[in-house]
Chain A
Amino acid sequence: MSRLDETWADRPGWWGFLTTVDHKRIAARYIVTVVAMLFLAGMLALDMRLQLSAANGTRMGPQLYDESFSLHGSTMLFLVSVPVMEAMGIWLVPLMLGARNLAFPRLTAFSYWLYLGGVLMLWVPHALGITPDLGWFEYPPLSGPGYAPGHRADIWAQMITFTEVAALSASVNIAATILKMRPPGMTLARMPFFLWAMLIASLMTIFALPAVMLVTSMLIADRLVSTQFFTPAGGGDVLLFQHLFWFFGHPEVYIIFVPAVGFVSAIVEAFSRRPLFGHIAMVLSLLSISVLAFGLWVHHMFAVGLPRLGNDFYTAASMVIALPAGIQIFCWIATIGSGRPRFATPMLWVVGFIATFVIGGLSGVMVASAPLDLQLTDTYFVVAHFHYVLVGGAMFPLFGAFCYWYPKATGRMMSERWGIIAFVLIVGGFNLGFFPMHILGLEGMPRRVYTYGPEMGWDGLNLLATIGSTVSVLGGLVLVANALLSYWRGAPAGADPWGGPTLEWAAPSPPPPYNFEHTPVVTGVAPLWEHDDLPVMTGLKDDAREVLVTSVLDAIPLYRQHSPAPSIWPLLCALAVSAMFVGSIFTAWAILWGMVPIAVGLILWFWPVRGRATSGPLRARGQ
């Protein structure tokens, strides 16, 4: 045991902090950063709600309001929702596989440092008074060189590049880990549903994110070196931006939602105390969602005047996705109904999720219809819809997951009482705050307006929305306070406080740096419910960092792979990449010259440490 500890432990102090490649430490700092972002974006939301709580509000002018919703949306989508799902995968995937680390440990570190670069890219300029102000999707021509002088739009576009490189790095890492590092016996058919969800979300990321990187790079090129992609006078086309943005943007919603489906399934299974009902149907419906998600992007563009047939096709495709989503809901209900459910806090979040997400799904089917969408587009109905799907569909499962796995991560239980209080405040406040927005939208209140006149009659519902949002934010603070206090005061959790079915519950809480002393062997889809003890294989080295690599389909052990040690180079490379990204806002030459330190950094990162040559023309002298 002590040798394993020595082999896998980080150096103490700052050096260990900066060089660690431990997936748990990196995931933890991802999550802490996300919580800070969630707090800031939540404060922005409250500020906007206060402005709108009465007619002719004077708290904000139009410019500040534009900046607030742009910063809120960009932060929530790019700095909270996607990264937090990657973070949960980074933390959980090796534990659920009984593995010692992710496939590419230094890439994990690089991913976090670049994500942090994205955070700073958006929020440091904001602190300096330079805030993007064109919404979270910055359409040209408004964001082009003609209408958006200065660097607000560039800052937004490069923030995207940072976070997308981070998410792509994490996704390749997670996908390779799930495909090649499953424990012996965990064939694809025996893979827990959460791992399916992370695999599918990672593959979706790999295919969707290049579109947004490409389109924001094209926007920067239009602004920096006068390319003509989006300028009609030069033969460009502004709708091209929208097509590429939504080719990413719609799958993005599912990149956020699919891991959430994984959380919900894991919680439902553990707290219903029976294997997931319809495991195969669930996997197939998730696969079909992931394919359909790439065929829906035009439904974000119904109002731009595309051919009728196009609108009809995308209306039909958008409605079809309700079928696999429905199958999942029914499978969860069947699991709960036929199990012995226990309604601890994580399970309450699942109930809150199902109720809220169904409402969001129904309003989604409504706006999937092109004629109705033409009426409702750019109104508060859409604001209500996407908050129901994203908060109800992704954040509620995330909070449930947080409560479910918190004891594993910290070794302490969270307070159930305060957990329930936070749940009631957040779910109650959310529904109180956002349901009235459906009605406001039907009454014609447009989104992205900084104020409205008293003659519109929107005051009452807006005030209600502000009260609800405030209650919800209070609930969020209770949740975070509960997590912080429980870290020191919570009851000791032990390895398996919930009687969970998957391998992470066989590791100590919190797991040691090497996660598992020996490699677990799996005989079913809910491995810990198969036996009272844990079948294991010995033989991985304890005096060198080693992980087991297995075959893709049947998880047959193939070889023992050396796992890279901590290194400062991922951080230094991320700094070099950051310098290039920031510089490229000002001059195209930064891209060329910025490549030099990046290349040096990458060479040193990957430089294998072995002895000098004893053969060949350049062998070491004296050999």
Chain B
Amino acid sequence: MRPKDLKTKATNTWCIGCGNFAILNAIKPVLTELDEEGLVPIEKVVLVSGIGCHAKIADYINANSFYTIHGRTIPVATGIKLANPDLTVICFAGDGDIYAEGLDHLIFGAKRNVDITAIIHDNRVYGLTTGQYTPTSPSGFKGRSTPGGLEVPPLNPLELLSASGGTFIARGYSHGIDLLKEIFRSAILHRGFSFVDVLQVCATFFNLYDHYNQRVYPLEGHDPTDRVKAEEKMREWDYDSDGPIPLGVFYKKEEPSFGDNFGEQNPREIDIEDAIRKTLERYI
């Protein structure tokens, strides 16, 4: 299989220069390689997307997918994974989608350490609804709902995920596809809840290419198992102030995963009539 085999007949409607292309072009070769290497057969991959520009990725990849609703990728993906632990479930979500509408699910996804991957297309603006602020927009952001400038600072999703118990926390950028591919690959292979915030630029409503290009740098010599160091690195940039922006895997740890405690991963055959009869006997 080649990355182009993952193409569908859908017409791509992202804007020219949209950062979503980088995510699409990074994930396709990663899925292809994982399939070729026999690590993750493509038929066992399920993509779950939310609503927003990012979510169209479900239409653009010829793989199993559930194109869901705004903010709700995590619970759908969790259900799919619990139903069939053999499947590899990857969520694609937007920043408005998962940090605003669906924040509770993201926190619980990390808290449960369910074995799924969440890739966040974080362009720090609502694109499809034409330019309002999101939870990661910088303070002072002049959007269509905040023409006077946003009064509140952004949240730092990496710190939030760390506080929630995330076991794989990473940040990527839509320029520098090799690093992005490397992060996606290790996120998918990590057993537990993998979180990747991708700084992805909305060329139409919030073009930060120049800003990012001058500030991003890859984490080097960083020990991702050291939680204290990882959190220090997460705090190096708060999504608001000016400063260097580290990219890479900040934190990674093997922990028990949600669903491990279910009696059996593959359900037993039950004589249902007999089990019902036995249960009813207890009520006499």
Q: A and B from one assembly? A: no
On A, residues with C-beta under 8 Å from B are none
Binding site for A on B (CB under 8 A): none
